[in-house]
Amino acid sequence: MAATPQYGSFIFRGLITGRIYNVDIYLSDVVDALVHFDGGAGAGATSPDSFIPTEPVALIDVAIVTGTADTTKVQILRGNQPTGDFLRYSQHLTTSPFRSPVNLGFAAGMPVRAIQKA
């Protein structure tokens, strides 16, 4: 099928300050491609492929716009190591008021990455 890129958000909570970090993401809808994170000008195809928190954080929510054709989930990575967690788009749609809860911790300075999967 033809890839249909979409957007979304990863929402983190700072474990020291309690601050909420809303980070836009860009999904290219290409299997095994990294998700792109907002680097300051909005997320897009040329944005960074990681988010690096300045304090320890927990990923608490993921919201994805529906419509991808080739991918159905993302695999979460700490640095380059898989956490073992896969987040299915169908459970994390922006239109759903009852998204599946997420609670994944990341150390300060640890790159948060995600790989798109079929």
How many Å apart are CA 2 and CA 58, to the nearest integer?
A: 34
- Is residue 52 situated within a structural domain? yes
- Is residue 101 situated within a structural domain? no
- Is residue 34 situated within a structural domain? yes
- Which DSSP state fits 98? T
CB atoms within 10 A of CB 40: 6
Residues 6 or more apart from 50 whose CB is under 8 A from it?
34, 37, 111, 112, 113
Name the domain count of the chain. Answer: 1
What digits encode the pLDDT tens for the residues 58-107? 999 999 999 899 999 999 999 999 999 999 999 999 999 889 899 999 99
Summary mean pLDDT of the chain: 96
- pTM greater than 0.85 (yes/no): yes
Contact criterion met (CB below 8 Å) for 49 and 35: yes
- Is residue 56 situated within a structural domain? yes
- Is residue 51 situated within a structural domain? yes
Domain interval for residue 57: 6-96+108-117
- Is residue 62 situated within a structural domain? yes
